[in-house]
A and B are shown apart, each in its own frame.
Chain A
Amino acid sequence: MNRAALGALLSHWARHPFQLAMLLMGLALATALWSGVQALNAEARAAYASAEELLADGGLARLEHPSGRMPDAEFGRLRRAGWMVSAVVEGRARLGQARVTLLGIEPLSAPAGGTGPALAQADLESFLSGTGFAHPQTLAEMGDNGLDLRPSGAVPVGMVLVDIAQAQDVLDMRGQITRLTLAPDQRKGLTPLAELAPDLTLIPPGEGADLAGLTDSFHLNLTAFGLLAFAVGLFIVHSAVGLAFEQRRGLFRSLRAMGVPLRNLCALLGAEMALFGLLAGALGLVLGYLMAALLLPDVALSLRGLYGAPVPGALQFNPVWAAAGLGMTLAGMAIAGGQALWRLAHLPLLAPAQPRAWAQASARARRAQAALAVALALAALGLAQWGGGLVAGFALLAAALLACALIMPVLLAGALALAGRAARGPVAQWFWADSRQNLPRLSLALMALLLALAANIGVGTMVSSFRATFIGWLDQRLVAEVNVIPRDPAEAARIRAFVAARGEAALPVQRVDATLAGQPAQIYAMKDHATFRDNWPMLDALPDLWDRLAAGKGVLINEQLAHRDGLGPGDVLTLPQLGAMPVLGVYPDYGNPLAQAVTGLDLFAANWPDAPVRQYALRSDAPQALIAALQDELGLSSGQITDQAAAKAMSLAIFERTFLITGALNLLTLSVAALALFAALMTLSGMRLVQLAPLWALGLTPRALAGLEALRALVLAAMTMIFALPVGLMLAQLLLAVINVQAFGWRLPMQLFPADWARLAAGAWLAVALAVALPAWRLWRDGPRDLLKVFAHER
């Protein structure tokens, strides 16, 4: 009996293959977007973990010199004093075709637990004699690199692991090391480090640039997008399942009449949904994997560009990920189909189509929905007022968006009622009244459209505002015509003398790593020069800022530090070696995850005399001539010299990559929303025949009816779009003023881009027009036949 019943139930799909395709596609798309984003996140997180595990560094305290290097005799000295330390040399180097982080370890003293030392110790003699390790992708990127390297997946992408002696050679750091790591267990009664090595800074475990922490916001952004796409996908499924149930109402009745118990019927329908869930889930996983594989190179580039995070460009397949994605699909299917199943189980067997009763029932539902919207809006206000942190920021975002989505049908109903009151003539009055009556059926799809449109406007506004601000800021910050990287202090001195002799200015870039207010930070030196006085952008500053900075009477801090620590001009910041210094001003520092402070050059040089000059910013009226002279007369290589245009192009490229993913996901979300609307309209067109048939009988032509149907959809879509604009701008404001500040520490001014909205509106309208075209055309073509059936059938 069950088999026959299942056959009858499934035969519906054979007759409506398009509906089946939509159901499966909606579910598959939802799964694909969600699981694709999850795959991206998982891949990146695995990369961070492998970077951490390489030295098991996260759990170890470190000793560093403020200048970033120390003599390697310090290692021997501390070991001989009984301290179990290990030496590390780390630096950036161009090997073959790629710039990589070269990590030199001392495997004989390295604390146990790191994958790096384990790799080294597997064949220690060859490691000590110069055989290193790199990720296969890094090896491919480098090409011929002059080192003896073996492939290993344990080494993060963009990193090369070698013996410390070799790293010193390649980085030109003979006799010097970057830092010491301290083993967790030390003997008691040793001479304290503060006494043995007073100029070294002890950095407790877990502090410092923690990749997972820095990139959290990036991944949270991706996750939020994935979740949004999933929710929108579920709207499609809901519509398709609703339609299928509605259309099979007669079949259910017949089956029940023939003796199939309600419980069996429900079980069969549940099994049917589970089957579709599995099918669509598997398809979605494949799509999600493909999408992630396609997007990963860009995500990896963003993460590497933004944070130097070593993320590989190739995706691994993870069964846990697949299982989680499939689970999510089934759960989504249950949510989307549960309502229909519940209704089947609880509504009277012979419940006729009672649109009016439905509408009245949904009026009650609408009131509940409005109440929920108000509650969510209040929650959003509360979060805006008292919430703190990134998670609260996203909760605020979600609450505000949901409140808008929920309140929208209420507002639309109000607007339609108003329009109906103003309408003249029976057809017009019917048009508005009927639109109101059908609003509940369409409201889910319209809510999905609203969310997609608002997300599009909001994210688009944020990205465009950011780009506009960023480009202006770059022009102010990158004023030097030429940048030069000296290879060693002697060359730095030669460059300085050479440029000074030409009557041009060489502004040194010097910095030390430090911990400011408990965060990883950098302290930069700034020469007193018109370049900075005239151009350096400031958000907030005390008077006589530049004179006081030059005199060493205070420091500048970046916006990130100011925001995280609640500092402003006039406040006092404690710096290592310098002690308490007044904050003279706050400057914007987009694209930098770290806290930063700037001191006058003289003060810096007095406190950190050993800090190398990492770069010179050269001012010149004839930059091309200067570059040629640097190459010809000083023998600098072209790799050491960057001109202004190249520097700007590079910064912009990093910026564009950061938001490439956002753009791609945005477009996908909008497509899913259009599909949801299409599904809803298809559903509706089937059910509305009952209501349209009398009008046809009263003399309206199928063509007029089809036109009215299309018009209704377009009017509703237009109303949704109008409503989406303020919601989108609110979203943009939240992203710029709350999320960005929490995630990155920057607050950006919002700028409006109406041309973008027009483009979006045109696109959305086109999508809606396409969605409404098929049902309207069907009505027009099959109108008389289908409409007659209404009278012939019992409905």
Chain B
Amino acid sequence: MPFNSHRLKPAPPRPPPPPAPPPGGGAARPVGRALAVLWLGLVSAQAQGFAGLGLEVEGFAAPQRGHALEFPRDHGAHPDYRIEWWYLTATLSDADGQDYGVQLALFRSPYAPEEREGFASPQIWMGHIGLTSRDAHFAAERFARGGVGQAGVSTAPFEAFIDEWRMISTAAPDQDALDHLELRAGTAEFGFELTLQATGPLVLHGDQGFSVKSFDGRASYYYSQPFYQVTGQLDLPDGPVGVTGQGWLDHEWSSQPLSDDQQGWDWVSLSFEDGHRMMGFQLRGHDIFTAGTWVTPEGQATALPPGALRFTPLDHAEVAGREVPVRWRIDWEDGGVSVITEPLNPHAWMDLGISYWEGPLRFSGSHSGRGYLEMTGY
């Protein structure tokens, strides 16, 4: 998943959100809006005021090429970076063959590059969860500040949490902390409880985890665990459903925005039936910047250079008052990949304080499989 602070920024002239509150949004909406504004403030201040100043941003650290990621330390939070997230997506099916998608994301964005005790902590956390079926999509959010044990990410053992939503490592001491996770989150309306077992290694994107985001060299640290086998239970308004499937965890952090002209992006994570994985994204600005990673079933990663991937929108759907391209053709000519993605539910709009499209898909063409699509800035 590409790092881009602009993902938090709605495209400028956009109609107001539809009047109907989203499932699970409920009473927390005004807080959500306000916090979205805060996040935009954090991000746009640097985007507008500090564009061109290079890699140093207001005392926040900046990713450096050649810096080696180290685990389990780098599974945890990096308070001196301006933005960071842990994003888990899972493509699931129940016993009847019905498809579902589940996501849990924990975002961190401080207003000062440090951590302080108690309520004085400048670290602001935001949690998003989503659950998608063929004809329904639920989304909910939470906000918290660090320092008082309400939200955070710890490394021993690994646990990412906000309120009662949590992702906790149950891996053996000799394993990577992310090899085995327990996930639980929900609202009064929907929820899920999943067990994730990794069948492959971590994958570092870009140059050993240094993932470039634009032609002028802005970048993030970015790695994934794309090899989860998932079992668990979904809590739907109709009752619980047992599910199995695959999961994909991203962890990404940076302090840099993208270029001013970049308005949003389209991102996919694809799990091929033959065991390969592929991550790809395009950033939409004056120029289209694409990049990706090709991963063998054994976990060998190959970075796809800028321009190697091509995204072609095929069909749009009207979602939350916007025209969103929900069906894509994705081509990697050098690798002989040309697939067409079909969303499980075209209306997978995360109508939260910060809103975007994120939902499960199936793809076919030169290869077939399942995956997740994220689209921002529409």
Contacts and interface: CB of A to CB of B under 8 A. Distances in A.
B145 A108 contact: yes
B163 A75 contact: no
B149 A73 contact: yes
A162 to B, nearest CB: 11
A81 B164 contact: yes
Contact of A79 (B118, B121, B164): B164
Interface stretch (B28-36, B267-275, B339-347): B28-36
Given A73-B149, A125-B111, A168-B118, A108 B27 contact: no
B31 A185 contact: no
A627 B124 CA distance: 48
A404 to B, nearest CB: 56
Interface in B118-147: 118-122, 124, 143-145
Given A79-B164, A108-B143, A121 B30 contact: yes
Nearest to B189: A187
A188 B188 contact: yes
A111 interface: yes
B124 A183 contact: no
Given A79-B144, A125-B111, A164-B119, A110 B163 contact: no
Of A82, A108, A125, most B-chain CB atoms within 10 Å: A108
A168 B119 CA distance: 9
A117 interface: yes
Contact of A87 (B112, B119, B163): B119
B187 A121 contact: no
A185 B150 contact: no
B150 A75 contact: yes
A124 interface: yes
Contacts of B161: 80
A185 B41 contact: no
A165 interface: yes
A97 interface: no
A130 to B, nearest CB: 10
A570 interface: no
Contact of B34 (A73, A107, A113, A168): A107
Q: Tell me the dominant secondary structure on chain B's binding face.
A: mixed
Given A87-B119, A185-B26, A188-B188, A108 B144 contact: yes
Find the residue from B122, B148, B149 having the highest chain A CB count within 10 A.
Answer: B148
B186 interface: yes
Contacts of B41: 124-125
Interface residues of A, number: 41
Given A122-B34, A187-B187, A111 B27 contact: yes
A254 interface: no
A108 B149 contact: no
A216 to B, nearest CB: 31
Given A72-B148, A82-B163, A82-B164, A124 B119 contact: no
Contacts of A184: 27
B34 A72 contact: no
Contact of A185 (B33, B37, B42, B188): B188
A117 B148 CA distance: 19
A112 interface: yes
B107 to A, nearest CB: 13
B11 interface: no
A124 B35 CA distance: 7
Contacts of B143: 108-109
Contacts of A108: 31, 35, 124, 143-145
A118 interface: yes
A197 to B, nearest CB: 14
A125 B186 contact: no
Q: Which of A79, A113, A188 has the most CB of B within 10 A?
A: A79
**B42, B124, B163, B166: most-surrounded residue (chain A CB, <10 A):** B163
A112 B118 contact: no
Given A82-B164, A108-B35, A168-B118, A185 B149 contact: no
B149 A77 contact: yes
B169 to A, nearest CB: 17
A125 B109 CA distance: 11
Contacts of A122: 34
Among A76, A107, A118: residue with most chain B CB under 10 A: A76
A143 interface: no
A677 B186 CA distance: 76
Interface in B69-127: 111-112, 117-122, 124
A88 to B, nearest CB: 11
B68 interface: no
B337 interface: no
Contacts of A109: 31, 143-144, 150
A111 B28 CA distance: 7
B38 interface: yes
A194 B149 CA distance: 21
Nearest to A169: B120
A701 interface: no
A73 B111 contact: no
Given A76-B149, A79-B150, A80-B161, A128 B31 contact: no
A121 B31 contact: yes
B79 to A, nearest CB: 15
Given A124-B37, A175-B118, A112 B164 contact: no
A174 interface: yes
A106 interface: yes
A129 interface: yes
Nearest to A89: B119
A80 B150 contact: yes
Of residues B124, B144, B161, which shows the largest number of chain A Cβ atoms within 10 Å of its Cβ? B144
A85 to B, nearest CB: 10
Could you say which of B119, B161, B187, B188 has the most chain A C-beta atoms within 10 Å of its C-beta? B119
A389 B61 CA distance: 68
Nearest to A72: B148
B31 A110 contact: yes
A215 B145 CA distance: 38
Nearest to A174: B118
A163 interface: yes
B122 A128 contact: yes
Contacts of B148: 72-73, 75-76, 87
A360 B117 CA distance: 90
B31 A125 contact: no
A120 B28 CA distance: 15
Interface in A717-738: none
Q: Which of B29, B31, B37, B120 has the most CB of A within 10 A?
A: B31
A112 B38 contact: no
Contacts of A186: 188
Contacts of A111: 27
Interface string B36-51: 0110011000000000
A72 B144 contact: no
Interface in A160-180: 163-165, 168-169, 174-175
Given A80-B163, A185-B188, 18 more contacts: A76-B149, A79-B150, A79-B164, A80-B150, A108-B31, A108-B143, A109-B150, A112-B31, A121-B30, A121-B31, A121-B33, A124-B35, A128-B111, A129-B111, A165-B118, A165-B120, A174-B118, A175-B118
15 contacts: A72-B118, A73-B148, A75-B150, A76-B148, A80-B149, A80-B164, A82-B164, A111-B27, A113-B27, A117-B30, A121-B37, A124-B41, A125-B42, A128-B145, A175-B118
Q: Which 8 A-B pairs have the closest CB atoms?
A: A76-B149, A121-B34, A82-B164, A165-B119, A165-B120, A124-B38, A108-B143, A76-B148
